[in-house]
Amino acid sequence: MRHTLISRPRTPGGLRTGRTGSTALALGLVLGATVLVAPAAEGHGYTDLPISRQKLCQNRTVSDCGPIQWEPQSVEGFKGFPAAGPADGRICAGGHSEFAQLDDPRGGAWPATPVTNGQSYNFRWQFTANHSTTDFRYYITKNGWDSGKPLTRAALEPAPFLSVAYNGARPAMTTVHQGRMPSGKTGRHMILSVWTVNDTPMAFYACSDVVF
């Protein structure tokens, strides 16, 4: 947010005069502080269907989450996944060390959403600020992956099971993508949702634990 300060008459020495000048100076300091702390209008979002780890932290279903509990929309990392993006073992946190709790498998004990092979499903994103978008992609872990270890590319199926192109359009503040859960899965798995921003080098990441 930008603020324009109104200039007041000055004395020859350059100082504002009288109470009006003091008020303007105080106002300028307040507005200047506002400029320093006001957040930039960036796009942010997370998944809540199936519920993501960052949302589980925000709603206190899971404790000891660190700062992500106050900003579940902020798991932002470089785009280009899987060729680029967050390093293996740091994918769920988008590469942010301050959100490392999201990469912690917690012994495979994260709450998991029950799902069914091939079922029709509404994958839902919530945005605190939307953004020009390239696409959304949804990946799932392979059968036999180790849920007791942090997520890696090798643990994921190489191709997304659902892709939704936006070609630069902005998604609605609550966005639902209709698709189907993959077939042939059993037991616990993880869905990695990737929102690729169109006009920055960034993407947003959300890991959701599910059980078939």
- CATH number of the domain bearing residue 207: 2.70.50.50
- Whether residue 111 sits in one domain with residue 25: no
Asked if the model's pLDDT at residue 165 lies above 60, the reply is yes
- Whether residue 191 sits in one domain with residue 175: yes
Q: Picking from 28-32, 95-99, 141-145, 200-204, which range would have the lowest pLDDT averaged per residue?
A: 28-32
Confidence (pTM): 0.81
Asked if the model's pLDDT at residue 204 lies above 90, the reply is yes
- Whether residue 92 sits in one domain with residue 130: yes
Of 67, 41, 40, 84, the C-alpha closest to 202 is 84
- Whether residue 116 sits in one domain with residue 202: yes
Of 72, 82, 71, the C-alpha closest to 141 is 82
Of 112, 121, 131, the C-alpha closest to 73 is 131
- Structural domain boundaries enclosing 23: 1-38
Instruction: Give residue-wise pLDDT tens across range 5-21.
Output: 333 333 333 333 344 44
Return the SS3 of 37.
helix
The count of structural domains within the chain is 2
- pLDDT for res 121: 98
- Whether residue 22 sits in one domain with residue 95: no
- The Cα 54–Cα 194 span in angstroms is 14
- pLDDT for res 129: 86
Confidence of residue 30 (pLDDT cuts 50, 70, 90): very low
Which residues neighbour 1 within 8 Å (Cβ) at sequence distance 6 or greater? 34, 35, 38
- The Cα 141–Cα 191 span in angstroms is 7
